[in-house]
Each structure stands twice: as C-alpha cells, then as structure tokens.
Amino acid sequence: MNINKTIDHTYLKADAGEKEIKRICKETLKYGFRSVCINPEWASLAKKELKGKALVVTVIDWPCGAGSINARVFEAKQAKKDGADEIDPVIKIGKLKEGKYAEVLNDLKKLSKILPTKVIIETGFLSEKEIIKASKIVKKSGAICVKTSTGLPPKVEIDKKIKHVKLMRKAVGPKYLVKAAGGIRTLKDVEKMLKAGADIIGTSGSVSIVKK
C-alpha cells in the first residue's frame, strides 16, 4: 500500500495565510498525498496550485457543526464554485446527541448532493452506540465517507481512536470509506489506523510521517 496516497494533508489553523496554503500544496505534489484539506477560503488558491494533480478538500461548518442547514448548504455550494473536489462537514453534533436523527439525516442529504462528502462525527463527544448510529446515518445520507474527528478537543488517545475506527468500520461495512483524523502524528499511528479499518488519514504531520 502507498501510504502517501491515503493522506489528506491538512492545514486548518486560524492564522493560515497564502504562504502556508502554497506550502502545503507544494508538499502534497512532492510527496503524492491524496489531497489538501483546508478551510473554504483557500479552495480557489489550492485548486490553482494543485493543477488537478491532487484533490482539494474543504471543511464545512468547522469545527462545531452548529450552523443552520441553509448556511451549511451555502458554504458547500460556494466551496464547489471555488474548486473544491470534496467537503468534510461536521455532523450536527448537538442534534445527534438529542436523538434528532431525521434532522441530521436531512442536513447531510442536502450536503451530499453538492459534492462528495466525508462527514466528521467527532467521536470524542459520542458513546459507542452513538458512534455506530452516526456512522449509519452518514452512510444512509449519500455521503462517501465517515470521519472520526476535527482534531480539536475533546482529544481522543490513539488507542481509543483505533477502537472508534473499528466501530465505524463495523457499522458501515467493508466497502464504505472511513477516515481517521486527529492526533495522528507518526507512521506507527497511521499503520494502526489503516489496520483498524481506515481508508483515509487526515493529518497535519504528513511530511514528518512519510519522511521517516
């Protein structure tokens, strides 16, 4: 397996500027990463820099997933106009925790019609039963992938994240995409996630991982 091709090279810091976005695009092309994962503002620049040689992924309603459906849809449509190939929206965590599954599903269905969608369920906030339920809702929505987390608090230790990936894989079946993200810093971490059932790895430590 070419591990580089599993990596969404991620830069989501609030102080990101043009210099940082150009840098991660160059790194993505140099090391053959799957994509860059950035905030929506930078989609058009990343599209220009990557020249179709890697995917442009933007997060939507990041990191809380608490925006209105209309705002989320607008953001996704704008990301598409700006050149995004995929979107990683945060699931409506609060609605999910309240058991308002129909609302969560309806929201994700709308987003999934706009671009290929990899949904962040933020497993650190969820029980095992909720992780399974969220994963099934994501699959049902038409999204292409279920993703563990934003990488922000609550932090999930690697061993626990492995357990979460396994739960997600079991919930969605063997052919559906699972993305592990948040706190993945070493090659050993990546290998553990892939072994647990992840197909895609989201990390900002991409270069240090593949150079070792």
Q: Is 179 a catalytic residue?
A: yes
159 is catalytic: no
- The amino acid at residue 105 is L
* Distance separating alpha carbons of residues 184 and 202, to the nearest angstrom: 8
Dmax over Cα atoms in the chain, in whole Å?
45
88 a catalytic residue? yes
CA distances from residue 22 to 27, 42, 179 in whole angstroms, order as listed: 9, 10, 24
Phi/psi of residue 154, nearest 5 degrees: -75, 130
Looking at 92, 95, 139, 147, which residue is catalytic? 147
Dist CA 88 CA 124 (whole Å): 17
- Which residue is associated with the tokens 């990041």? 62
Identity of the residue numbered 25:
C
Instruction: Give the residue among 163, 201, 210 at the shortest CA–CA distance from 182.
Output: 201
Per-residue CA distances from 49 to 30, 81, 166 (Å): 12, 16, 35
Cα of 176 vs its chain's centroid, Å: 14
Give me the catalytic one of 47, 95, 179, 192.
179
Active site residues: 88, 147, 179
